[in-house]
């Protein structure tokens, strides 16, 4: 396989194509191309044919390889394909991750069978692993070269306010599962010239909930903020979110999940590291209203802000109805 991988790498280099560009032309992913070139696994006959059509230098060298019989008996290969198709049919086609526990439950498979098919699909570049409680998997999306993507991109850029309705509906579903006795959501990202306390004092969403415990006296109040950003975010979003810790028990940075690139991966890695350093949460979300599809990268650390800062924040930010609700809680 290493010899085949070297041939592929050389032919791609001679054609002046990046892995992403080659992947886009044959309908695969750059991750699959990378695995083939490293000799981690071998392309199937149909993929070899597609490669030969795109890379003239690969055609003659691959002819002997494509004629080799499969090392897997036909019957076994067909059964494996059927299992893979069943597995993939339960993984969202949009690239949204699904938890391993939930997916295996939907499939009704034993753990050994689930892990076997999962590993096979990972090796073929069809799915990738993700984070979350118990881990997750998602489909590997077709990577389109940046210049090609730019040509097909709408001239209208997505703005943060365009994401608010979708995120709010997902947030409304998420709060139902947090164990609060009662709660409400404040959403006032834009308040004009109103004095709200200075720069970065307006979270996009604020969730306030309270909970009573059997063995802990009194009522525990939580104030959790969410700062929503599009795929075109910068690391400054971390510092903006961290500033909310002055009045919040937990602060989260919520970033729209988009098509990955090397640059995006590097930025996301740095953002994740900064979130961990500040103790704020990081979650990636998609264009759907299902909070179970959120990819929790960093869990926020609970803090106890100064009561006076909390009072000031509530007085300046909350509407009268919610202020009254807070008074009734306590």
pLDDT of residue 91: 87
CA-CA-CA-CA torsion sign (48, 49, 52, 58): positive
Q: Does 77 have pLDDT greater than 60? A: no
CATH number at residue 88: 1.10.10.10
CA 271 to the chain's CA centroid: 13
Least confident interval from 20-24, 135-139, 210-214, 273-277? 20-24
Residue 319 lies in a domain: yes
pLDDT of residue 204: 92
Residue 8 lies in a domain: yes
Mean pLDDT of 90-95: 78
CA 32 to each of CA 44, 73, 78, 126: distance values in angstroms, whole numbers, following the listed order: 11, 23, 21, 8
Strand order in the sheet with 136-139: 98-99, 136-139, 127-130
Residue 145 lies in a domain: no
Q: Two tokens at 165? A: 């309705």
In terms of residue numbers, what domain contains 188? 160-329
pTM for the whole structure: 0.54
Tens digit of each residue's pLDDT (9 = 90 or more) over 142-170: 544 444 444 444 445 778 899 999 999 99
CA 264 to each of CA 78, 82, 146: distance values in angstroms, whole numbers, following the listed order: 37, 34, 12
208: which strand partners?
Answer: 184, 223
Q: How many domains does the chain have?
A: 3
Least confident interval from 45-49, 146-150, 279-283? 146-150
Residues 178 and 266 in one domain: yes
Taking the C-alpha atoms of residue 286 and residue 170, their distance in angstroms, rounded to an integer, is 10
Taking the C-alpha atoms of residue 36 and residue 19, their distance in angstroms, rounded to an integer, is 11
Residues 235 and 269 in one domain: yes
Instruction: Give the rounded percent of residues in the chain with a pLDDT score beyond 90.
Output: 28
φ, ψ of residue 195 to 5 degrees: the values are -75, 110
Contact 287, 166 (CB under 8 A): yes
Q: Does 244 have pLDDT greater than 90? A: yes
Residue 229 lies in a domain: yes
Q: Two tokens at 221? A: 């109040």
CATH number at residue 32: 1.10.260.40
Q: Does 6 have pLDDT greater than 70? A: yes
């Amino acid at each position: 396989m290493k010899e085949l991988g070297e041939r592929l790498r050389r032919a791609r280099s001679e054609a002046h194509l990046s892995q992403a560009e080659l992947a886009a032309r044959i309908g695969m992913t750059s991750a699959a191309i990378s695995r083939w070139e490293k000799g981690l696994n071998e392309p199937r006959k149909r993929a070899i044919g597609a490669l030969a059509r795109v890379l003239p230098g690969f055609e003659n060298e691959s002819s002997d390889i494509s004629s080799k019989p499969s090392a897997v008996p036909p019957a076994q290969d067909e059964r494996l394909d059927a299992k893979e198709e069943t597995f993939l049919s339960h993984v969202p086609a949009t690239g949204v991750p699904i938890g391993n526990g939930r997916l295996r439950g939907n499939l009704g498979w034993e753990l050994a069978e689930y892990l076997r098919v999962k590993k096979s699909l990972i090796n073929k570049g069809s799915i990738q692993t993700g984070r979350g409680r118990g881990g997750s998997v998602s489909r590997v999306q077709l990577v389109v070269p940046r210049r090609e993507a730019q040509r097909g991109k709408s001239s209208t850029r997505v703005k943060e306010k365009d994401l608010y309705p979708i995120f709010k509906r997902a947030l409304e579903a998420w709060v139902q599962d947090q164990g609060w006795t009662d709660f409400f959501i404040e959403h006032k990202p834009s308040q004009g010239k109103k004095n709200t306390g200075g720069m970065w004092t307006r979270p996009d969403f604020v969730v306030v909930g309270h909970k009573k415990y059997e063995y802990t006296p009194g009522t525990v109040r939580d104030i959790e903020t969410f700062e929503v950003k599009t795929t075109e975010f910068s690391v400054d979003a971390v510092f903006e979110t961290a500033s909310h810790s002055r009045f919040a028990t937990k602060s989260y940075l919520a970033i729209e999940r988009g098509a990955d690139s090397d640059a995006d991966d590097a930025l996301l890695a740095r953002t994740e590291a900064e979130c961990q350093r500040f103790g704020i949460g990081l979650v990636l979300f998609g264009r759907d209203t299902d909070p179970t599809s959120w990819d929790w990268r960093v869990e926020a650390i609970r803090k106890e802000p100064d009561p006076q800062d909390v009072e000031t924040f509530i007085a300046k930010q909350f509407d009268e109805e919610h202020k009254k609700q807070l008074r009734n809680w306590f």
